[in-house]
Amino acid sequence: MAAETPKLPEIIPVFPLTGSLLLPGNLLPLNIFEPRYRNMVADALEGDQLIGMVQPLNPRQDNWVAAAQQPENPEIYSIGCLGRIEEHELQDDGRHLIVLRGVARFRVRQELPLKRGYRRVVADYSEFQRDFGELNVFLNPSQIMRALRAFGEKHDLEFDYDLLASVPGISLLNGLSVALPFRPAEKQALLEAADPAVREELLLTLMGMGIEPLSTDEYYSPPVLN
């Protein structure tokens, strides 16, 4: 049975974040501290609780000199993923701790003027109708688990393989796509994969490739699975 297609807003706020990946059905925890994006979260909470995650085309530089030379609102990829705020905690210092659950991918058709400092786009979901039923897709996780063991040994990363083996294949695929230490462009390729089968093939390829440099402090976090 096909999943019912929800009615989603055409105009959405977007949060550009290098190396961040949100996929349909998956969870993404975020610490929102910049004033304009505090405004974004506050407005979303008063409305439909929806925020679009996108990546800047050029990865954010950690070097403060390079970062100072970057535009405040850099060009973004044309494909992102809409998320719904599932958890929210307002901190004493004004930060928002939120957890987004991926709803569906979208294509940016147009960027609109800023609203209270944050960015907004006209979103088109027509290419990604299958996203709404993605969690119902059956995927045998055996290939991914074999590749993950080899990846962990190669890069000296520890995983709870017993726990991961109990996770549905599609959740394992998307969770590892989000959490493993891939470059931003590789994360974007995983996001843009036409369907789970294509994403699985790409994930297996990436896990079999060398990753240089591998910075666990910057990129790695344990998978957030359903």
Per-residue pLDDT reduced to its tens digit, 165-205: 999 999 999 999 999 989 999 999 999 999 999 999 999 99
Residue 41 included in any domain: yes
In 3D, which of 35, 148, 141 has the Cα closest to residue 96? 35
Rg of the chain over all Cα atoms, to the nearest angstrom: 17
Do 102 and 151 belong together in one domain? no
Q: Considering 96, 111, 131, which residue would you say is the last residue of a domain?
A: 131
pLDDT confidence bin for 62, thresholds 50/70/90: very low
In 3D, which of 100, 121, 99 has the Cα closest to residue 112? 121
Q: Let me know the angle formed at the C-alpha of 96 by 172 and 70, rounded to the nearest 5 degrees.
A: 85
Please state, rounded to an integer, the average pLDDT across all residues of the chain.
87
Q: What is the CATH number of the domain that holds 49?
A: 2.30.130.40
- Convert the pLDDT of each residue in 172-181 to its tens digit: 999 999 999 8
- What one-character DSSP code corresponds to residue 135? G
At residue 56, the pLDDT reads 95
Do 56 and 160 belong together in one domain? no
Residue 141 included in any domain: yes
Average pLDDT over residues 78-84: 98
At residue 131, the pLDDT reads 94
Do 76 and 187 belong together in one domain? no
- Convert the pLDDT of each residue in 114-158 to its tens digit: 999 999 999 999 999 999 988 889 999 999 999 999 999 998 989
Do 15 and 122 belong together in one domain? yes
Do 15 and 127 belong together in one domain? yes
Do 155 and 178 belong together in one domain? yes
What are the residues whose beta carbons fall under 8 Å from the beta carbon of 44, sequence distance 6 or more?
A: 13, 50, 51, 85
Residue 55 included in any domain: yes
Q: Please state the domain count of the chain.
A: 2
Which pTM does this prediction carry?
0.84
Residue 1 included in any domain: no
Do 127 and 186 belong together in one domain? no
Do 66 and 169 belong together in one domain? no
Do 67 and 17 belong together in one domain? yes
Do 152 and 180 belong together in one domain? yes
Q: Considering 108, 131, 154, which residue would you say is the last residue of a domain?
A: 131
Residue 40 structural domain: 11-131
Do 63 and 142 belong together in one domain? no
Among left, alpha and beta (phi > 0; psi -120 to 50; other), residue 69 is: alpha
- Distance CA(165)–CA(202), nearest Å, equals 20
Residue 226 included in any domain: no
Cα within 13 Å of Cα(147), Cβ side: 19
Q: Considering 100, 131, 162, which residue would you say is the last residue of a domain?
A: 131
SS3 category, 179: helix
What are the residues whose beta carbons fall under 8 Å from the beta carbon of 123, sequence distance 6 or more?
A: 8, 9, 10, 11, 12, 52, 80, 82, 106, 107, 108, 109
pLDDT confidence bin for 90, thresholds 50/70/90: very high
Residue 199 included in any domain: yes
Residue 4 included in any domain: no
Do 108 and 170 belong together in one domain? no
